[in-house]
Amino acid sequence: MSESRRKLNADDIESTLVGGTALGCGLMGTDRYPEQREYANRALRQADIYLTSLDNYSSHDSLALVTGIGRPSSTALALDMFSGIGGAVDLLLRTAQSSAVGVFVGHPGGFLNWIAASRTGLDVVDLAANGRGHPTAAMGAMGLAGDNNARITQTVWFEPPPESGAVPVSAVFTTSHTLGEKFLRYVAHENGGAIMAARGLYEVGFLKSHAALGAMSFQQRIGEALLSVSGGDERIAQLMNVVEESWCLKGRIQSVRLEPTRDAFLAGILWLETERGPTAILICNEVMGVDVAGTRISTFPDLHILLNRDGEPLAARACEAGKEVVIVGAPHRSIPLGSGVWDASVYPQVEQALGQPLARHVLAAGED
């Protein structure tokens, strides 16, 4: 079978899982592995799933995006993703005025695209809105968040078990990307902290210019690197061999200040003592920046992979004082990215949650 379209199987699960967790940049950790493996196996049992290149389609073919909205510490994330993603993507496809050929995700992490593909029979396409974790849908808007004239159809489906006490929600709406995200974050906050959603449809011609092409293949390469050896130092070395221009900081956590916000974020700072001095790891769901001795050395959309000393992806919510951690970073040019990260309008919400500047560092770097 052509490498531009191949059938996914059980051998793809671990590399996809580990690579996606690493590229989540602190969003998820290994504690979610059993649950995520079951989602992947269930998707494969339900249907044949194919990973395809965007080049297989014409410029006017359309794709649907599937995503989660909310904070990673939320118990709502433990609810059945098959119900949430399946309901949201079904609603989007019923509403759309054109048919879709494939699905993709906001950023690597988990198996939302596999779940959507198993539900719909569509292909999993080798791209994402961004190739690393981002906390807002606006950052994955591929440049549309700052365009108030752009209209995006978004759907949400939330059907919790009766004992959870959460309120069932299903909705479809077409509005600006920014206003749509405000609604979704309100729903997430009111319903336990997280919901599953879908949006689109996006034409292939647009995606070729604005999406993070090859993000799923990159995710698998990261996973394969981490799985190819055992031992923390060896894993970190392998990871740095795969990611161009990468750097590494190792240290011990001195203190943790992470709090849930009304915008359904988990935000704050991890304070570390590293070989380069006092280090602040800025968290808004994911690692968004690194300050060393009071100087910013790296800011989203640069890559920041959070690991424990065994070289395993680590969730920011699992960090505590005394834990030894590793940050493997790289400049933004080393990873697939969508154009939404260069939109100045997407940063104020996250800057407010963090209480730290981002945009001035990002936009000064430019699209090199």
From CA 77, how far away is CA 195, in angstroms rounded? 7
- Which of 145-154, 210-219, 344-353 is the least confident region? 145-154
Mean pLDDT, to the nearest integer, of 138-151? Answer: 85
Q: What is the pLDDT of residue 366?
A: 55
Report the Cα 183 to chain-centroid distance in Å: 20
Q: What is the pLDDT of residues 158-172, one digit of tens each?
A: 777 677 666 777 788
pLDDT over 70 (residue 77) = no
CA dihedral 125, 362, 271, 306 (to 10 degrees): 20
Structure-token match 């191949």, residue found: 6
Q: Which two tokens stand for residue 233?
A: 């130092």
Q: What is the pLDDT of residue 2?
A: 46
- Nearest Cα to 137, choosing from 187, 97, 102? 187
- Which of 78-82, 192-196, 224-228, 362-366 is the least confident region? 78-82
From CA 338, how far away is CA 346, in angstroms rounded? 13
Q: What is the pLDDT of residue 244?
A: 95
Q: Higher-confidence residue: 284 or 161? A: 284
DSSP string covering 4-22, please?
TEEE--GGGHHHHHHHHHH
Q: Write out the E strands in the chain.
A: 5-7, 50-52, 62-70, 102-105, 123-128, 152-158, 169-175, 194-203, 212-213, 247-260, 266-274, 277-284, 286-292, 295-299, 303-308, 324-330
- Nearest Cα to 52, choosing from 18, 1, 109, 106? 1
Q: What is the pLDDT of residue 164?
A: 66
Count CB atoms within 10 A of the CB of residue 150: 14
Q: Which two tokens stand for residue 342?
A: 């260069």
Q: What is the pLDDT of residues 55-75, one digit of tens each?
A: 999 999 999 999 887 656 544
Q: What is the pLDDT of residue 68?
A: 81
pLDDT over 80 (residue 264) = no
Q: Mean pLDDT over all residues of the chain? A: 89
